[in-house]
Structure 1
């Protein structure tokens, strides 16, 4: 899994799974665009990686911000070979009748529309290059109805569908698109969140099935493989990385 002379753009790369992805691609030889909405954390990760990385700040839910992000990547490195759509936010575990409309719209805007916007902006460059690899971070909630609240669940089901659509549409153009479904992982996505008590109580028994916590590096390893030449005939795959939770 050698990424020499390739460029990887990773969103949500200031911490957690995204940071682990950025580090993993750099170790494998890629030059990395470390993107996060938090400029400070993006800068810290890029500094840790060193000369093979550049930091970028973007709100992936805003199309003008995304356009500037992709322009930064292309103007800095000339191309984008790998896109890891990793940035996302959690909901409050609220059930459908209880979720505020503002929360629904924000979660869908970041998790689903944001993934689309970055993909939409990167695809023309991959088409001109003659290929590329996209790895989306979906979730166990992308294949279940009881692994998160209504907004997060809907957004990640949408990411799964978008992954398959992109894979089908561009397979003949040398562009592959796959998704990983992380189970419970040691990240800060839920830090500071206040969870809806009714939803949390209803979802508790299912969430308890995923009691084993993964390390971010385990998710990054899966993404690295799916983006690599070793996975050259894997396209449209939805890959649980959950220690067997989805098999229960």
Structure 2
């Protein structure tokens, strides 16, 4: 009789514990499913639209997943009577301490989020940023990686890029390439212009439309300076920039048009006593 009484005494507690365990398992399973579902939905939004960055939405998906799992963990602990208020306060304090310790990393993260939202550049673009120039090979949450023409890899923290001037050389399909050429004052300006026009007309990467801009810009001390702006596809910008000056120099030499250089005239006066 006493043994039956003891069993009956602990039976409700055992049932309550088993019920809480089953509910905790159900909450955990549903929570994991919801966390994965929320992550997939956010990631798929980034994949659905070309103007949205996959990296950013993968990050947001991971954040959403862990946030849901955190709430699931709190709900599971509540089923077992654990006071979660102190745990939440402890996690908040720990998060604050970690945030203060990782201020630099957090600033890079915040800058990375802004770069991925506004997308001033993307992988494959040539940019000037943080005093560096190169081809963007990777943009992640903390850094931007550039490859220079001489095959160096430059890793720039995003906080050094965001908020500073960013020059994206690949943003527009067409590019104007500004150049300056000087001829001597005794040279025929129309002849010099014709020589430059022919060089640009024969260049395979210079576009006919829009037409190149060739005009006298400055009358310097020893030269008449032309501003020359041919237009090309963005991919051909550096080819035009570094090939046209040599071609113009050779063409002006063949036409016997002098390209002057700064010089001084010195007059010697012979003073006799």
TM-score normalised by L of structure 2: 0.20
The structure having more radius of gyration, on CA atoms, is 2
- TM-score normalised by L of structure 1: 0.21
